[in-house]
Amino acid sequence: MNKHAKDDEIMPLLQARALSYARNEEPIFGPLDFSLHTGEVVLIEGDNGSGKTTLLKVLSGLLEPTGGVVLLHGTPLTLARLSHQVALLGHLLGLKLELPQLALASVGLEGYEDQPVRMLSAGQRKRVALARLLLVPASLWLLDEPYANLDRDGIELVNRVLDAHARRGGAALITSHGAYAYTSGTPRRIALRNDSALPAALSPQPSLCT
């Protein structure tokens, strides 16, 4: 059985059909077609300003797509019925500088439970935000530049966490401008291009499957 036939049988966790987004009539990305299955980690690559963050915001339901649909387990995604399935880790980490955070042992920060976030470095804050991902039972992770600010151990930590998540039947979309990347296995890639002459796109889905 080839990969295509198998893809058709299993309902993809996340599917984008002709997905595009434009701000003030200026296209940011798309139209994009891709799907993401359970146990998959897919890397979104693109230069600065190519629309990676916007794509994740559309996929998380925070932004309404200009065209196309996002299907989560085969049904259209709306913010109102997001439920527990999607977790987003964006550039804004959602941490309060004044408060200490819990569940830190899992990200190599044991002993910091009583420290306000203000006292932590940027990389340590990133680890704290990762700890939140581990607390939420979401099957789809949307990670915006998870490798930024992290040291080598931190990068390995992210990869370990991603592997474990994929093995548990989760899936993740991660963005990167190419500096660091997901190393275990060879992840499928989606490339976003800045060039507005070409319809900024990507690998049509299964062709880059590994």
Partner 1 sequence: MKPGTTSAACAALLGRDLALTWRRRGDALNPLLFAVIVVALFPFALGPETSMLTRIAAGTIFVAVLLAGLLSLDGLFRSDLEDGSLEQLVMSPHPLSLLLGCKIVVHWLTTALPLIAIAPLLAQLLHLPDPVLPILLASLALATPLLSLVGAVCVALTIGMRRSGMLLTLLVLPLIVPVLIFGAGACNAAQLGLPTSAPLLWLGAWLVLAVVMAPLAAAAALRISLA
Calculate the alpha carbon distances from 100 to 87, 90, 112, 151 in Å: 21, 20, 8, 22
88 is a site residue for partner 1 (CB under 8 A): yes
- The footprint of partner 1 on this chain (CB under 8 A) covers a number of residues equal to 26
122 is a site residue for partner 1 (CB under 8 A): no
Instruction: Write out the binding residues for partner 1, residues 89-108 only, by CB under 8 A.
Output: 90-99
Question: Binding segment for partner 1 among 12-20, 135-143, 155-163, 180-188 (CB under 8 A)?
Answer: 135-143
CB of 89 vs partner 1, minimal distance in Å: 9
84 secondary structure, DSSP code: G
Nearest to 106 by CA among 139, 124, 130, 122: 130
169 is a site residue for partner 1 (CB under 8 A): no
Residue from the set 11, 22, 63, 208 that interacts with partner 1 by CB under 8 A: 63
Task: Compute φ and ψ for 149, nearest 5 degrees.
Answer: 70, 0
18 is a site residue for partner 1 (CB under 8 A): no
CB of 157 vs partner 1, minimal distance in Å: 19
Q: Which is nearer to partner 1, 87 or 107 (CB)?
A: 87
Tracing tokens 């049904």 back to the chain, one arrives at 75
DSSP per residue, 129-187: HHHHHHHS--SEEEESSTTTT--HHHHHHHHHHHHHHHHTT-EEEEEE-SSS---SS--
209 is a site residue for partner 1 (CB under 8 A): no
> For binding to partner 1 (CB under 8 A), which residues are involved?
60-64, 79, 82-84, 86-88, 90-99, 116, 135-137
